[in-house]
């Protein structure tokens, strides 16, 4: 046996004999994912080491910025190619020579499992270790559940695997996940020095499968029982978390090989599940949405100081998001009192975090050092970007943009956070339309991950690229949207809420609708959301649109009836639900049900009953159909942009991959048949999107459009 690799694996797994250490370098850009060639290369390298008497130790390192990011996610759903990852980890562990994993960057999932298969582990600063499989609907399937529990104990292993969190080098050392942390960040030199030290001290292979982390049976059993109880409560609807607990239990109760077999069965079940497909789709969708034509073609402008106009709900939340990202913020308000309120809003957000123990007083003071307020626009002369979040009124917005045009430096990016207004019209009202775009945040803006980057007709590519750059700085998921009433998210919301209203007037109670939607996986139903956000917001929008509404379209007045009574939801203690004594979870209200009944009578509807499944089918068909229209019109670039929007802005369950991915799993022909069936009652509302009709005729699905884009 020679030390050279087979040609097909040579590029991705390189071997080099450094004295008596065989250095095995995984070099598979971008993140050293473990595809079939890497797996084969690793086995070959260990075989070579065992067969060569001059090799006294093996050092595994990653080229580029990471050790190994895990299994190759792109291989899931395709036929499995040998060797399997468990075989690789087992072969590493069986090696007769000490194997050292030297970790920098990501050692995640299968990457950490490879390191756990090794006999010794060293990490350098900046390393990120974790078993995040749960976030992809999986569990560690290459011995990770069995080895991690044996190495660091049931409690710590469960906490890692159930949260999917990454730990740094120092925490990994404390947990016992690695043996030492390097003095420098030169992972190769640190790893090699460690290998030489192990050779010098005649260290033998030390196999993780023999580690004693589960020896205290009582402590392990207690940790497992606690994790199971917590998981049953928290991981509603998810397949893999409970299986992770089962695997750790197997690690405690069964011999290693049996535990491995059990783990593999559970892993394969998860890998074949629609949840895994949904979560992997979500993973790629949120990376794809960051790539717009403009980010490919243009460089973003510099972003250091940002102006925020308006210190209300959104302005304050946006200011916090910006401060959190280390940007300098200047807030402009109408007068001193409003400015004071704006600052108080910001402080309230920070105080909330302090009360929850997520922030310290010192950190708040540090953040606020970068905050300034003013009532004069001249304070924005140096701003690189200004985000306007004043009242939703075209005349007010145009007046603000006229001021910005007057004071802002040339090249400043001028953004509006409008929810519905025509951004082309705002842009056309000033002398520099090329600098105007929409940056549509969601409430609470410092928490919600979604940022719609709305692209008006005359904006320059650089400005759009700057919008995406801002999202990156704020750690938000940016989705490119075109200009229309409501962009992607709110336009869909209007339609699926209308479908819910129709269901309510036709006989379903708001409580049943909320429950059915929750059972599908949304954290809240539509009427709970209205009560939380305040029914008055939608009411004001409906009144604004009353004059232009199609008089023949169905209009459900129930929400208006509640608002006319001053029942706006939580803040008024009554909405669709009652919130007595400051309760945050509402209780059903018989009076609301009589109001609904009266409305049914008034419009001449004989109430019908709906099953929860029928409710969900209508609700989703409405959402999917409007999503298809949005793609068809080019407002969203691809179906996956719609998916990312609904998952990150509207609570669509991530494990279902967003409405368009979900539609593919149901079958577009079935969705179309549903829409045509519902159209028999209300043909004006239920008009099948031309895109769905076309895809069904071609036997294609939404995924084909994601691939083609
Ligand atoms: N497989 C295939 N491709 C992957 C990948 C993986 N495991 N991880 C990342 N990539 C791809 C991304 O899709 C992206 O591709 P693109 O450039 O074409 O868009 C590219 O690598 C770079 O990724 P990021 O943009 O995310 O780069 P960052 O530097 O921001 O983050 C990272 C790097 C922390 C490694 C992050 O990509 C990540 O968290 N990856 C997933 C890690 C993971 O979940 N691993 C577990 C996999 S499941 C498993 O191992 C099963 C096993 O137990 C059997
Ligand atoms: P808000 O009413 O809470 O705040 C608006 C603030 O703007 C007030 O503090 C007001 O004093 C200030 N203001 C008004 N005119 C001004 C002017 N000429 N100069 C400086 N300040 C001025 O409103 P909210 O909810 O923060 O909404 C702001 C914008 O964000 C609107 O366009 C809205 O459509 C949009 N939006 C709102 C969301 C929400 O959930 N509330 C979500 C996403 C966007």
Q: Identify the pLDDT of residue 421.
A: 92
Q: Where are the alpha helices (DSSP H) in 201-288?
A: 217-234, 240-253, 256-271, 274-288
Report pLDDT for 582: 81
d(CA 86, CA 142): 4
What is the distance in A from the centroid of ligand 2 to the CA of 440? 12
Q: Is 421 in the pocket of ligand 2 (CB under 6 A)?
A: no
Ligand 2 proximity of 36 Cβ (cutoff 6 Å): no
* Tens digit of each residue's pLDDT (9 = 90 or more) over 468-487: 999 999 999 999 999 999 99
pLDDT in tens, 302-360: 999 999 999 999 999 999 999 999 999 999 999 999 999 999 999 999 999 999 999 99
For the four alpha carbons of 131, 134, 135 and 141, in that order, the dihedral sign comes to positive
Mean of per-residue pLDDT scores for the chain: 96
Kindly report the protein residue whose alpha carbon is nearest to atom 35 of ligand 1. 69
Contact 278, 661 (CB under 8 A): yes
Query: Confidence band (pLDDT; 50, 70, 90) for 1?
Result: very low
| Residue 3 confidence (pLDDT) above 60 | no
Q: Is 418 in the pocket of ligand 2 (CB under 6 A)?
A: yes
Neighbouring C-beta atoms of residue 255, cutoff 10 Å: 11
Q: How far is CA 589 from CA 517, 530, 565, 596, 620, in A?
A: 19, 15, 14, 11, 26
> What does the pLDDT read at residue 429?
98
Contacts of 565 (CB under 8 A, 6+ apart): 574
User: For residue 311, which atom of ligand 2 is closest to its CA?
Assistant: 9
Q: Is 33 in the pocket of ligand 1 (CB under 6 A)?
A: yes
Please tell me the number of the ligand nearest to residue 309's CA.
2
Of residues 8, 87, 113, 218, which has the active-site annotation? 113
**Span 4-27, pLDDT tens digits:** 555 566 689 999 999 999 999 999
Q: Is the CB of 140 under 6 A from ligand 1?
A: yes
Q: If you take atom 29 of ligand 2, which residue's CA is the nearest one?
A: 389
Nearest CA to ligand 2 atom 14: 390
Mutual angle of helices 256-271 and 274-288, in 10-degree steps:
70
- Going by C-alpha positions, the residue among 209, 206, 200 that lies closest to residue 21 is 200
Q: How far is it, in rounded angstroms, from Cα 614 to Cα 623?
A: 14
Q: Which ligand sits nearest to residue 450's alpha carbon?
A: 2
- Average of per-residue pLDDT across 538-555: 90
CATH topology for 490-708?
Answer: 1.10.1040
7-271: CATH topology:
2-enoyl-CoA Hydratase; Chain A, domain 1 (3.90.226)
Q: Is 392 touching ligand 2 by the criterion CB < 6 Å?
A: yes
Q: Where are the beta strands (DSSP E) in 407-456?
A: 413-416, 436-441, 450-455
| Mean pLDDT, residues 419-443 | 97
- What's the confidence (pLDDT) of residue 537? 83
Separation CA 249–CA 242 (nearest Å): 11
Alpha-helical runs (H) found in 486-551: 489-506, 510-520, 526-533, 535-545
Ligand closest to CA 161? 1
Q: For residue 342, give the ligand 2 atom closest to its CA.
A: 9
b/e per residue 387-399 (b: at least 16 CB within 10 A): bbbbebeeeebbe
| Per-residue pLDDT tens over the stretch 50-65 | 999 999 999 999 999 9
Cβ pair 599, 506 in contact under 8 A: no
Specify the residue with its C-alpha closest to ligand 1, atom 22: 30
Q: So what's the pLDDT on residue 4?
A: 56
Question: Is 287 touching ligand 1 by the criterion CB < 6 Å?
Answer: yes
Mean pLDDT of the 260-289 span: 97
Q: DSSP for 429-479?
A: TSS-GGGEEEEEE-SSTTT--EEEEEE-TT--HHHHHHHHHHHHHTT-EEE
Across 20-131, where does the E strand assignment appear?
Answer: 21-26, 57-62, 99-103, 106-108, 120-123, 128-130
Ligand 1 mutation target, pool 37, 68, 73, most atoms within 8 A of CB = 73
**Alpha helix stretches (DSSP H) within 177-216:** 187-200
* Closest ligand (CA of 421): 2
106 CB less than 6 Å from ligand 1?
Answer: yes
Q: How far is the CA of 317 from the centre of ligand 2 (A)?
A: 11
Closest approach atom of ligand 1 to CA 66: 35
Determine the residue of 32, 64, 70 to mutate for testing ligand 1's pocket, defined as the one with the most ligand atoms within 8 A of the Cβ atom.
70
State if residue 396 touches ligand 2 by the CB under 6 angstroms criterion. Answer: yes
Centroid of ligand 2 to alpha carbon of 309 (angstroms): 8
Give the torsion through C-alpha atoms of 513, 518, 520, 526, to 10 deg.
50
Is the pLDDT at 2 greater than 70, yes or no?
Answer: no
> CA-to-CA distance for 690 and 625, rounded, in angstroms?
9
Nearest ligand (C-alpha, residue 419): 2
Read off the DSSP letter of residue 430: S
- Does the structure show a pLDDT above 50 at 93? yes
Ligand 2: which of 315, 648, 649 to mutate, judged by most atoms within 8 Å of the beta carbon? 315
Q: Give pLDDT, residue 545.
A: 85
Q: Of the listed 133, 263, 288, 505, which one is catalytic?
A: 133
Q: What per-residue confidence (pLDDT) applies to 581?
A: 87
Instruction: Find out whether the beta carbon of 114 lies less than 6 Å from any atom of ligand 1.
Output: no
Write the DSSP symbol of residue 53: T
pLDDT digits (tens, 9 = 90+) for 378-392: 999 999 999 999 999
Instruction: Output the CA 133–ligand 1 centroid distance in Å.
Output: 11
Answer whether 291's CB lies under 8 Å from 638's CB. no
CATH assignment of 303-484, given 3.40.50.720, 3.40.50.300, 3.40.640.10, 3.40.440.10? 3.40.50.720
What's the CA gap between 385 and 363, in Å, rounded? 25
Q: Catalytic annotation on 113? A: yes
- As a whole number, mean pLDDT of residues 652-660 equals 98
Q: Is residue 136 within 6 Å of ligand 1 at its C-beta?
A: yes
Ligand 2: residue whose CA is nearest its atom 39: 443
Lowest mean pLDDT among 339-348, 628-637, 700-709: 700-709
Q: What does the domain layout of the chain look like in residue ranges?
A: 7-271, 303-484, 490-708
CA of 291, nearest ligand number = 1
CA atoms within 13 A on the CB side of 347: 10
3-state secondary structure of 330: strand
Ligand 2 binding pocket includes 419 (Cβ within 6 Å)? yes
Would the CB of 286 count as within 6 Å of ligand 1? no
Kindly report the number of other CB atoms within 10 A of residue 127's CB atom.
Answer: 28
pLDDT of residue 566 exceeding 70: yes
Tokens coding 707: 């691939």
Report the percent of the chain where pLDDT is more than 90: 94
Out of 197-206, 233-242, 478-487, pick the least confident.
Answer: 233-242
Which ligand 2 atom lies nearest to the CA of residue 388? Answer: 29
Ligand 2 proximity of 374 Cβ (cutoff 6 Å): no
Nearest 5°: CA angle at 60, between 59 and 64? 125
């Amino acid at each position: 046996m020679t030390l050279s690799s087979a040609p097909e694996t040579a590029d991705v797994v390189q071997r080099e004999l450094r004295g008596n250490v065989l250095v095995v370098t995984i070099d598979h850009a971008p993140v050293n994912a473990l595809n079939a060639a890497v797996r084969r290369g690793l086995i070959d390298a260990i075989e070579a080491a065992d067969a060569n008497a001059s090799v006294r130790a093996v050092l595994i390192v990653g080229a580029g910025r990471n050790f190994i990011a895990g299994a190759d996610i792109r291989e899931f759903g395709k036929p499995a190619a040998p060797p399997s990852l468990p075989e690789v980890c087992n072969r590493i562990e069986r090696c007769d020579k000490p194997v050292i994993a030297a970790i920098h960057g990501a050692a995640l999932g299968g990457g950490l499992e490879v390191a756990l298969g090794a006999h010794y582990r060293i990490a350098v600063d900046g390393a990120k270790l974790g078993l995040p499989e749960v976030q992809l609907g999986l569990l560690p399937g290459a011995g990770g559940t069995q080895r991690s529990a044996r190495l660091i104990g049931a409690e710590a292993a469960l906490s890692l695997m159930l949260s999917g969190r990454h730990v740094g080098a120092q925490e990994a050392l404390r947990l016992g996940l690695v043996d030492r942390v390097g003095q420098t960040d030169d992972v190769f030199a640190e790893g090699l020095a460690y290998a030489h030290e192990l050779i010098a001290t005649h260290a033998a292979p030390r196999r993780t499968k023999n580690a004693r982390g589960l020896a205290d049976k009582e402590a392990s059993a207690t940790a497992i029982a606690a994790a199971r109880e917590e998981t049953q409560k928290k991981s509603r609807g998810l397949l893999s978390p409970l299986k992770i607990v089962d695997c750790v239990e197997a690690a405690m109760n069964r011999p290693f090989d049996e535990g491995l077999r059990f783990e593999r069965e559970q892993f394969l079940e998860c890998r074949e599940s629609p949840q895994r497909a949904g979560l992997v789709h979500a993973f790629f969708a949120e990376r794809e949405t960051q790539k717009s034509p403009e980010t490919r073609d243009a460089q973003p402008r510099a972003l250091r100081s940002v102006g925020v106009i308006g210190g209300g709900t959104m302005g304050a939340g946006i200011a916090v998001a910006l401060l959190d990202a280390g940007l300098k913020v200047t807030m402009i308000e109408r007068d001193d009192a409003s400015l004071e309120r704006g600052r108080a809003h910001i402080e309230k957000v920070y105080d909330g975090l302090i009360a929850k123990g997520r922030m310290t007083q010192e950190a708040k003071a540090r953040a606020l050092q970068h905050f300034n307020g003013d009532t004069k626009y001249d304070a924005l002369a140096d701003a690189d970007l200004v985000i306007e979040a004043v009242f939703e009124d075209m005349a007010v917005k145009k007046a603000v943009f006229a001021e910005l045009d007057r004071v802002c430096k040339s090249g400043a990016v001028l953004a509006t956070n409008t929810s519905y207004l025509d951004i082309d019209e705002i842009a056309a009202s000033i002398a520099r339309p090329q600098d105007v775009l929409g940056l549509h945040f969601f409430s609470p803006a410092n928490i919600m991950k979604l940022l719609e980057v709305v692209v008006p007709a005359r904006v320059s590519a650089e400005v759009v690229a700057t919008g995406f750059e801002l999202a990156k700085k704020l750690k938000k998921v940016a989705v490119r949207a075109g200009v229309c009433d409501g962009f992607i998210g709110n336009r869909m919301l209007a339609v699926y809420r209308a479908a819910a209203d129709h269901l309510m007037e036709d006989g379903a109670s708001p409580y049943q609708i909320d429950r059915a939607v929750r059972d599908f996986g949304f954290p809240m139903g539509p009427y709970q959301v209205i009560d939380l956000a305040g029914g008055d917001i939608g009411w004001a929008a409906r009144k604004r649109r009353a004059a232009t509404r199609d008089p023949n379209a169905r209009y459900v007045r129930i929400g208006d009836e509640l608002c006319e009574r001053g029942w706006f939801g939580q803040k008024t203690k009554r909405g669709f639900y009652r919130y007595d004594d400051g309760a945050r979870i509402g209780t059903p209200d018989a009076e609301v049900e009589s109001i609904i009944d009266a409305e049914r009578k008034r419009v001449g509807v004989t109430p019908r009953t709906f099953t929860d499944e029928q409710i969900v089918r209508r609700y989703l068909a409405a959402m999917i159909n409007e999503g298809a229209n949005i793609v068809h019109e080019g407002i969203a670039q691809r179906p996956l942009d719609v998916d990312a929007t609904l998952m990150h802005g509207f609570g669509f369950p991530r494990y279902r991959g967003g409405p368009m991915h979900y539609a593919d799993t149901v079958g577009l022909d079935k969705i179309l048949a549903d829409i045509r069936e519902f159209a028999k009652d209300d043909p004006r509302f239920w008009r099948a999107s031309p895109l769905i009709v076309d895809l069904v005729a071609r036997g294609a699905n939404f995924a084909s459009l994601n691939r083609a884009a």
